[in-house]
A = this chain, B = another copy of it.
């Protein structure tokens, strides 16, 4: 293995190749799921040979695991940014917007995650009931406090968060369907979604 054992130094070339491979792997895994993807597909996409891929990564699973690990970090980030100090409605709607931007700019990551969850989350179930649950619990407390202080209309914090996740990710995961029904260009679809989701969650949070 190039990146283990005696030599700890990782050259620029090595890092760039690893990145190129991971990028190709993300392409393939997000489109076909783990079992639907073959190392050959990844090799073709990365313009490398199959054994060359396996020189940089021990196995198909290693690539998949690394991609999932990365994705989970960026996945949790937008929610962590939601601050308990700002204006409640703006904080939540800001989170919605960031999440929608992620669906627009990183649809592959969203689909990789969706594929994993659909299969029962075999590789990340621990992260779901660990870090993800902990983060959600923390933010649910903040939202509940806002409600108790009369700054938000009463709403179940957890299901509010689920609604934010589902509506925003829908534009990445079900993009084919959205496009089949709407037909519009991608940028236009996301501008419409932006307005719509802001309207919806604002209505929910500020009803009388």
Contacts and interface: CB of A to CB of B under 8 A. Distances in A.
A176 interface: yes
A196 B132 contact: no
A36 B37 CA distance: 10
A76 interface: no
A32 interface: yes
A163 interface: yes
Contact of A181 (B133, B155, B199): B133
B166 A170 contact: yes
Contacts of A162: 167, 170-171, 174, 178, 193
The size class of the interface chain A forms with chain B is: 35 or more
Interface in A189-208: 192-193, 195-197, 199-200, 203-204, 207
A173 interface: yes
Contacts of A199: 155, 204
Copies in the complex: 2
Contacts of A35: 32-33, 35-36
B163 A118 contact: no
B114 A156 contact: no
A115 B173 CA distance: 10
A173 B207 contact: no
Interface stretch (A47-55, A63-71, A86-94, A121-129): A121-129
Interface string A9-49: 00000000000000000000001111110000000000000
A207 B206 CA distance: 9
Interface of A: 31-36, 111, 114-115, 117-121, 125, 128-129, 132-133, 136, 153, 155-156, 158-160, 162-163, 165-167, 169-171, 173-174, 176-178, 180-182, 192-193, 195-197, 199-200, 203-204, 207
